[in-house]
Amino acid sequence: MSDTVEESKQHTDGAQTHGFQTEVRQLLHLMIHSLYSNKEIFLRELISNASDAADKLRFESLSQPDLLGDDAELKIRIEYDQSAGTVSVVDNGIGMSRDELIENLGTIARSGTAEFLKQMSGDNKKDASLIGQFGVGFYSAFIVADRVVVESRRAGLAAADGVRWESDGQGEFTVSPVELERRGTRIQLFLKEDEKEFADAFRLENLIRKYSDHIGFPVSLAGGDEEEKVVNSATALWTRSRSDITDDEYKEFYKHLSHDFADPLTWSHNRVEGKREYVSLLYVPSNAPFDLWNREAPRGLKLYVQRVFIMDEVEQFLPLYLRFVKGVVDASDLPLNVSRELLQQNPDLSSMRSALTKRVLDMLQKLSQGDDYDAFWTQFGQVLKEGVVEDPASSDKLLKLMRFSSTALDDDAQTRSLEQYSEAAADGQDKIYYLLAENHATAAASPHIEKLKADGIEVLLLTDRIDPWLADSMREFEGKTFVDAASEKIELPDSAGEMTQEAANEEHKPLLKKVRKVLKDRVEAVNISQRLVDSPACVVAGENDLSPRLKQMLEASGQELPESKPVLEINISHPLLQRLDRETDDQRFTSLSNIVLDHALLAEGSQLDNPAEYVSRMNNLLLELDSDSSHS
């Protein structure tokens, strides 16, 4: 039993009353009072859970045929009683033991519940779309019911091992033993007075057809004087021809599969024949799951073999950077008893993985031609960038899917593709310039790109956490090489006729020598800059040094880094540097030189090693200026 469920009372008849997990209480309150705007969703959620239970039993029966007994036809039955105001969802699937019932219905087993509650905004539509991301669909029953009774018996256990769960959703639930002749689960909803419209044959039949027609098990309707009848097509949707499936059916199957409430952005349904035969149905969600950045979280596609469910979340079919993709793979030539270990050793899996990865990337490329790609990039762009680092074989396809902020755009929310960058580049420009920075404002105002902007050359602004690794993996795109605008040795376009750095350094050798001497403990070198226009100075990483952004990230993660110093570049045309060049007082020269370096470090978003010393220098400088003005 979960230690998050408190056992509060033992009854003489063997029943026990428990308190809901704290997060469940909060969730139930939200769902009952404000969350769902589309109440009919409860039926889809409960039928989906019943379908999962049937799938799990079919899988377990592969190794334990006795579990099916004389009840081998797996099915789901919806019962209604209009006069009593009840609706029941009954399945003959895997069922639950007492401990499983308490664990599954008294707690939210999946991590992240607190995060779910934190994300609640009070907007019914937005909040409802979060439900599927947190696996809490069962609790939707309390939107229409003021009491829910669940009776279940796990396959393989005796009739006396049945268990009954009952709650009004107000904070407690009661669990008691009950004799059940058949395995499986019955969920009975006692509808609220103003929700009794759901105990109607016509209403229920329409809802089953609307939301559950694609379920691969028969869903029948029984109640009143009507004869029981199967309502859905009872055919696994992915086994049907694409031409026979409507967009609405694809969307509803996605919601059943993922327990998401929002429509998918796009999908791909494909049948592969020949040496390897399998069907894939892959979906790209509209919204990122709450645990997208947890690389250890369960993820992957559902695996079926000849329409028999084998396992959930098979991660071997797609690389980690495509972990947001949902879907089904139904293979014809894998053994029915295949396990995760056997999958790892299967020689055909590598080919299937490559083909499925290519299919997803092709699907995204097609999506990128339309208006929905901005929404996709906002949700999944950063995780897709992992692919450029981790999957060099797909680098060309992935680079076409990348989107970046740019100096050519007015709004930091806008993005630009590499193809757009190439098309806008001047004739003969064979480089793609980029800049790494902490945020967009710092990048856009960076001294490093002043000359490039002045010459009308576009610079991509990379500010995501993963961008230092991304930049390190980007080599070239359509014949253009990537260049870091903050690198020490950078060849600027249209520099013909201008003085070389070596010549400029030689011309101002006395000043450079003096500044180097003052800053020898803080910088590797001091050079005359060819990239600055308006700023007095900037710092750049040495040729073999890590970029400042990457260094900050590695230090933040606790990694020890080798000692390194930046290279200071000064703009000899700037009045401050000209003032420094004329300075004859050694103490003031030292102070000004350090302030120039401090400002260059601050401009790139770096932290000063000794902020107090910087403040002291600035205070002294301001006092000197005040003294000079009072004497004049």
pLDDT, one tens digit per residue, over 96-115 is: 999 988 888 766 534 344 55
Name residue 191's beta-bridge partners.
145
For residue 308, being part of any structural domain is answered with yes
Alpha carbons 121 and 35: distance in angstroms, whole number? 10
631 pLDDT above the threshold of 70: no
Confidence of residue 117 (pLDDT cuts 50, 70, 90): low
Residue 511's nearest CA partner among 582, 451, 605, 449 is 582
126 pLDDT above the threshold of 70: no
Q: Count the Cβ atoms, other than its own, within 10 Å of residue 401.
A: 23
Q: Count the Cβ atoms, other than its own, within 10 Å of residue 224.
A: 13
Backbone dihedral angles phi then psi of residue 310, each to the nearest 5 degrees: -110, -50
Alpha carbons 145 and 86: distance in angstroms, whole number? 9
| Helix segments in 221-294, DSSP class H | 247-258
Name residue 91's beta-bridge partners.
76, 185
| Residue type present at position 630 | S
Least confident of 48-62, 70-84, 189-203: 48-62
Contacts of 570 (CB under 8 A, 6+ apart): 512, 515, 526, 527, 528, 529, 532, 536, 537, 577, 596
Identify whether residues 513 and 598 lie together within a single domain: yes
Sheet order of strands, 326-331 included: 266-272, 278-284, 326-331, 301-305, 308-314
The token pair that represents 331 in the structure block? 């293979």
Which residue is associated with the tokens 């490329």? Answer: 365
Pairing relationship of beta strands 6-10 and 16-19 according to DSSP bridges: antiparallel
Q: Which of 319, 343, 367 is the last residue of a domain?
A: 367
Is residue 514 within 8 A of residue 526, CB to CB? The reply is no
Identify whether residues 327 and 467 lie together within a single domain: no
Is residue 434 within 8 A of residue 483, CB to CB? The reply is yes
476 pLDDT above the threshold of 70: yes
Is residue 175 within 8 A of residue 101, CB to CB? The reply is yes
For residue 391, being part of any structural domain is answered with no
CA distances from 120 to 107, 113, 125 (A): 19, 11, 11
Identify whether residues 76 and 176 lie together within a single domain: yes
CA dihedral 366, 367, 373, 379 (to 10 degrees): -120
Contacts of 611 (CB under 8 A, 6+ apart): none
Is residue 238 within 8 A of residue 330, CB to CB? The reply is yes
Is residue 148 within 8 A of residue 88, CB to CB? The reply is no
Sequence-ordered strand ranges (E) for 192-265: 219-223, 226-230
Is residue 62 within 8 A of residue 336, CB to CB? The reply is yes
Residue 459's nearest CA partner among 493, 502, 495 is 493
CA distances from 465 to 36, 394, 438, 461, 501 (A): 35, 21, 8, 12, 33
304 pLDDT above the threshold of 50: yes
The token pair that represents 445 in the structure block? 């105002």
2 pLDDT above the threshold of 50: no
The residue range of the domain holding 305 is 238-367
Confidence of residue 4 (pLDDT cuts 50, 70, 90): very low
Q: Which of 214, 233, 252 is the last residue of a domain?
A: 233
Alpha carbons 50 and 217: distance in angstroms, whole number? 10
Identify whether residues 247 and 211 lie together within a single domain: no
DSSP string, 390-412: H-GGGHHHHHHH--BEETT-S-T
Residue 45's nearest CA partner among 183, 189, 250, 154 is 189
Q: Is 126 left (phi over 0), alpha (psi -120 to 50) or beta?
A: alpha
Mean pLDDT of the chain, nearest integer: 86
Identify whether residues 189 and 316 lie together within a single domain: no
Mean predicted confidence (pLDDT) in 586-612: 91
For residue 29, being part of any structural domain is answered with yes
For residue 378, being part of any structural domain is answered with no
Residue 337's nearest CA partner among 58, 72, 53 is 58
Identify whether residues 269 and 354 lie together within a single domain: yes
Taking the alpha carbons at both ends of the chain, their separation in whole angstroms is 84
| Residue type present at position 187 | I
Q: Which of 481, 498, 515 is the last residue of a domain?
A: 498
Counted residue by residue, the chain has a size of 632
Q: H or E stretch including 106?
A: helix 98-106
CATH of the domain at 306: 3.30.230.80
Name residue 271's beta-bridge partners.
279
For residue 519, being part of any structural domain is answered with yes
The token pair that represents 7 in the structure block? 């056992």
Sheet order of strands, 145-153 included: 6-10, 16-19, 172-177, 163-167, 145-153, 184-191, 86-91, 76-81, 219-223, 226-230
Alpha carbons 405 and 433: distance in angstroms, whole number? 12
Pairing relationship of beta strands 308-314 and 431-436 according to DSSP bridges: unpaired
Least confident of 86-90, 250-254, 281-285, 543-547: 543-547
Which pLDDT score, from 0 to 100, does residue 561 have? 66
Which residue is associated with the tokens 């390194």? Answer: 564
Which residue is associated with the tokens 């080798």? Answer: 562
Identify whether residues 459 and 519 lie together within a single domain: no
Burial class (CB in 10 A: 0-12, 13-18, 19+), 172: middle
Contacts of 182 (CB under 8 A, 6+ apart): 71, 92, 153
Identify whether residues 58 and 200 lie together within a single domain: yes
Least confident of 59-63, 199-203, 318-322, 488-492: 488-492
CATH of the domain at 536: 1.20.120.790
Confidence of residue 40 (pLDDT cuts 50, 70, 90): confident
Q: Count the Cβ atoms, other than its own, within 10 Å of residue 69.
A: 13
CATH of the domain at 200: 3.30.565.10
Is residue 531 within 8 A of residue 538, CB to CB? The reply is yes
Alpha carbons 2 and 21: distance in angstroms, whole number? 10
The token pair that represents 425 in the structure block? 């580049």
Q: H or E stretch including 177?
A: strand 172-177
The token pair that represents 384 in the structure block? 């897709």
Backbone dihedral angles phi then psi of residue 42, each to the nearest 5 degrees: -55, -40
435 pLDDT above the threshold of 90: yes
For residue 28, being part of any structural domain is answered with yes
Identify whether residues 167 and 33 lie together within a single domain: yes
77 pLDDT above the threshold of 60: yes
Backbone dihedral angles phi then psi of residue 314, each to the nearest 5 degrees: -85, 110
Alpha carbons 111 and 291: distance in angstroms, whole number? 9
The token pair that represents 332 in the structure block? 């014809």
In percent, how much of the chain has pLDDT > 70?
A: 85
Identify whether residues 207 and 248 lie together within a single domain: no
Choice between 522 and 12, residue whose per-residue pLDDT is larger? 522
For residue 383, being part of any structural domain is answered with no
Identify whether residues 486 and 519 lie together within a single domain: no
For residue 1, being part of any structural domain is answered with no
Which pLDDT score, from 0 to 100, does residue 384 have? 96
| Residue type present at position 301 | L
For the stretch 497-527, what's the b/e string if a residue is b when 16 or more beta carbons lie within 10 angstroms of its beta carbon? eeeebeebbeebeebbebbbebbeebbbbbb
Which pLDDT score, from 0 to 100, does residue 622 have? 84
Domain total of the chain: 4
Mean predicted confidence (pLDDT) in 13-36: 69
Is residue 199 within 8 A of residue 184, CB to CB? The reply is no
Identify whether residues 95 and 207 lie together within a single domain: yes
